[in-house]
Amino acid sequence: MRLLIIGAPGAGKGTQAALIKEYFAIPHISTGEMFREAISQQTEIGLEAKKYIDKGDLVPDSVTIELMRERLLKDDCKKGFLLDGFPRTIAQAQALDEMLEKLEIKLDAVLNVDIDDKILIDRIVGRRTCSVCKENYHITNKKPKVEGICDVCGGKLIQRADDTEETIKNRLRVYHQLTKPVLDYYAKQGLIKTISGRENIEEIFMKVKHLLGGNE
């Protein structure tokens, strides 16, 4: 199964992606996560990406496309993949098409997690992530059993540096301007499957499985 998941920041892409990865046994490839990893390791790419991420802007296409080109060549992608947060611009979508063509593979579907902007700001500001296993939580909607501690692995929960109100407004603007057109790009290829990001996590995942032809 070769999938993309697209949605505004806070739409719940990461949460659904973690479930899809498990269910279909495919690698979950998040460019945002790859950048955060590079930042924590202070690599050259990390230092470059941080300048943009901290402001809620997109990392330049040249950097992001190269990162994905290398990632897709890794062995684990042979069994399929779920790309989360890539492509975010038309140029990235075109570059991805070229990469797939060279590899002689095609996408099965593009999941569009659709949600109203008004809900997103509250979701993002309250979002917490495990610093170790990256499990997502929310201070009111998905509380951990012990405050500040991950239920899954006991890791410390942290707030992402770019999950502040000012950055979010810019990230939403960027999403509407640059990423929304990517949905039209894939609609023309007949690949879009839209799910509502408003329902609860399990309900959304049931629909995802149904749309992707899973057993349940």
Active-site positions read 13, 88, 127, 160, 171
Candidate ranges 15-23, 57-65, 72-80, 205-213; the one touching ligand AMP (CB under 6 A): 57-65
Candidate ranges 31-39, 114-122, 130-138, 144-152; the one touching ligand AMP (CB under 6 A): 31-39
Q: Could you tell me the smallest distance in angstroms from the CB atom of residue 74 to ligand AMP?
A: 17
**Count of other CB atoms within 10 angstroms of residue 151:** 15
Residue among 56 and 205 whose Cβ is closer to ligand AMP: 56
Q: Binding to ligand AMP by residue 9, rule CB under 6 A?
A: yes
Residue among 60 and 214 whose Cβ is closer to ligand AMP: 60
C-alpha pair distances (Å), 111 with each of 57, 65, 182, 204: 23, 20, 12, 11
Candidate ranges 16-24, 29-37, 98-106, 147-155; the one touching ligand AMP (CB under 6 A): 29-37
Give me the 90-119 binding string for ligand AMP, x by CB under 6 A, dash otherwise: --x---------------------------
**Count of other CB atoms within 10 angstroms of residue 26:** 18
Q: Could you tell me the smallest distance in angstroms from the CB atom of residue 210 to ligand AMP?
A: 25
List the one residue from 15, 31, 112, 129 that touches ligand AMP (CB under 6 A).
Answer: 31
Q: Could you tell me the smallest distance in angstroms from the CB atom of residue 2 to ligand AMP?
A: 17
C-alpha pair distances (Å), 201 with each of 54, 136, 182, 208: 28, 11, 24, 11
Q: How far apart are CA 152 and CA 155, in angstroms?
A: 8
Scanning residues 139 to 198, which ones bind ligand AMP (CB under 6 A)?
A: 162, 171
Length of the chain (residues): 216
Total of residues contacting ligand AMP (CB under 6 A):
18
